[in-house]
Amino acid sequence: MSVNVNRSVSDQFYRYKMPRLIAKVEGKGNGIKTVIVNMVDVAKALNRPPTYPTKYFGCELGAQTQFDVKNDRYIVNGSHEANKLQDMLDGFIKKFVLCPECDNPETDLHVNPKKQTIGNSCKACGYRGMLDTNHKLCTFILKNPPENLDGNAGKKEKDKKNRKGKEKENGSVSNESQVLTELSPPHV
């Protein structure tokens, strides 16, 4: 069953949905831990890496977290109910997913590690702003910036860098100007 990404909206036909968190408690005694079974699906619905909400739970609960990205296992130490984690996920969504202007979850994070800032841009209304970096999760985001999920955004920048690198290897004169000088008649 799916729920609205912004659970303060009670519209049953709300466009932005996500699956409910499924938490499974493993172990006994001192080694008890909660595995969030469907964290990959929830994170995909939020357009964030699955490590971010898991780390947010760890920050809010004061617990350690573990990520096994290859096997899609996201673990929070301690015994935690799914309803409690779902309520905490609402806090993560409000701080790191929803646009402050239009309350739509169509935002992208832009991390600038040199300036230690995290930007937020909305695809729906065009809002661009900075996130408050006082939360502990922000240091994790700065150290682990999100990779572009669409794949093409970083490709253009790499192509530009490759072209510039090739021009430097060939000299400061571009190939077009070399062709023009070869075709033009010599000055007499």
Q: Which backbone phi and psi does 67 adopt, to 5 degrees?
A: -125, 125
Q: Is the pLDDT of residue 92 over 70?
A: yes
Counting residues of the chain whose pLDDT is more than 90, the rounded percentage is 64
For residues 96 and 93, what is the distance between their CA atoms, to the nearest angstrom? Answer: 5
Computed from CA positions of residues 135, 89, 28, 71, in that sequence, does the dihedral angle turn out positive or negative?
Answer: negative
Render pLDDT for 39-76 as a digit per residue (tens, 0 to 9).
999 999 999 999 999 999 999 999 999 999 899 999 99
Render pLDDT for 105-159 as a digit per residue (tens, 0 to 9).
999 999 998 999 999 999 999 999 999 889 999 999 999 998 865 544 444 455 5
Q: Is the pLDDT of residue 97 over 70?
A: yes
CB 129 within 8 A of CB 30: no
Q: Which amino acid is at 183?
A: L
pTM, full prediction: 0.76
For residues 2 and 44, what is the distance between their CA atoms, to the nearest angstrom? Answer: 13
Counting residues of the chain whose pLDDT is more than 70, the rounded percentage is 78
The model's confidence at residue 38, banded by pLDDT at 50, 70 and 90, is very high
